[in-house]
Structure 1
């Protein structure tokens, strides 16, 4: 995977999409890997992938993260699931169930695939990707509304997300949230998170690289996200993290 040319997808997050995502009705985005090839029905790889899916469904909810591999080369399946750090175990379980089911419908015979929901990420491949920063599978979302002073806002947003990154990569959950006062009437709310197969230093690198894409993603936007297969950030001018 790391040797392939990165492919980046761009999405506009309109209010309808955000509404659907909050309800958990639709995924934010998905990616079916063409480079990994396909498997056939009733093949050893499909059997291993089915076992892996069941394993991650049980493994992920208690801690919010699950990682595992099933089988032997060349039919070994590797996968992980990550729930957002503020999501309850029951909502995490529901999201992983939805994600693992939906991705098999969207990418029925692909050996590799990734799907993102607002509350979770589900990812599997036929090669070992654990501990490697995934920048191939990346997409952007942003609020359609713009701020008045984009230069100042962009600077404060970058500083704020960098501060959250410095907190997140030093925690076991590789996750941090916070808020920052922009002015007397407006606050900035943020979240950063990495998949827990990454080292602390790679988590920081992944998030730093994502924050570096702010000008391309969210220049002067009231809210935005850069989401990859290894890390993501989100910021808004309204609270969105569960208490």
Structure 2
């Protein structure tokens, strides 16, 4: 007969594996693989990579962020994981494990890669990148439902002004926060609707670098996504997002 403790552990592991399966089955938001750095099948780097992913998942669970290194010399893997600031620790763990498995499929033999999911981001490299703000590995993604084609927003131009105000407030809150994370709602005065947003930076960079990273994200959103009902920028050091629906987990 199984003890209550063993039954609880079995249930927890089963739940994590099921969530990991669902996350792996979903395509990531984006992935970027290095084309200049590769390792061979018998390279220690390849053996250390899955160990790194397990280490990140374990370390990130309590706080949603982790750094780590496994191995030595040419086989050394440096890794970073960031979970969205509102997700539960169990979801954070399973997302990192799923992202770690998926990135090895998407970027086989690559010594440097990054993958983004809705709930987490995982990055690894043979180079020591901790503490260096990454402004290069970022991309914008807009909500495909354009505000001009919906009845939910009567004045898209006015919405752009509200979006700009929300993003500025999020930036100013996030870069001074110990968690490097901010979320906020803003009433847009249109049928009592609200605008929802988040801003987040990796905790290895300074507050000043976080501010610069979020400013760059705001500029990308301005260029790509005016008039859109929702959009985001994800990157190697910061993320920013706004929507016309409550997308954060407040449970």
1:204 & 1:32 partners in 2: Cα distance?
Answer: 26
1:22 & 1:103 partners in 2: Cα distance?
Answer: 12
In the alignment, which residue of structure 2 is the partner of 1:159? 165
* 1:31/1:114 contact within 8 Å kept: yes
2:247 aligned with 1:240:
yes
How large is the Cα RMSD of the aligned pairs?
Answer: 1.8
TM-score (norm 1): 0.86
Q: How does 1:39-58 map to 2 (within 5 A)?
A: 39-58=39-58
Structure of greater relative contact order (alpha carbons < 8 Å, 6+ residues apart): 1
Q: How does 1:21-170 map to 2 (within 5 A)?
A: 25-35=26-36, 37-147=37-147, 149-170=155-176
| Deviation (angstroms), 1:24 | 6.9
| Residues 207, 71 of structure 1: alpha-carbon distance in 2 compared, 3 angstrom cutoff | same
Which is greater in Rg?
2
2:132 & 2:215 partners in 1: Cα distance?
Answer: 15
1:183 & 1:139 partners in 2: Cα distance?
Answer: 30
User: Secondary structure, in 3 states, of the residue corresponding to 1:62?
Assistant: coil
Q: After superposition, what is the alpha-carbon deviation per residue over 1:179-237, rounded to whole angstroms, capped at 9, x for unaligned?
A: 00111422110011111111111111100110011222211100000111111111011
In the alignment, which residue of structure 2 is the partner of 1:173? 179
TM-score (norm 2): 0.83
2:190 & 2:25 partners in 1: Cα distance?
Answer: 34
Report the count of equivalent residues. 222
* 1:147/1:153 contact within 8 Å kept: no
2:209 aligned with 1:202:
yes
Q: Give unmatched runs, 5+ long, in structure 2.
A: 1-21, 149-154
| Deviation (angstroms), 1:144 | 2.5
**Greater share of residues in helix:** 2
* 1:22/1:118 contact within 8 Å kept: no
User: Secondary structure, in 3 states, of the residue corresponding to 2:163?
Assistant: helix
1:239 & 1:217 partners in 2: Cα distance?
Answer: 22
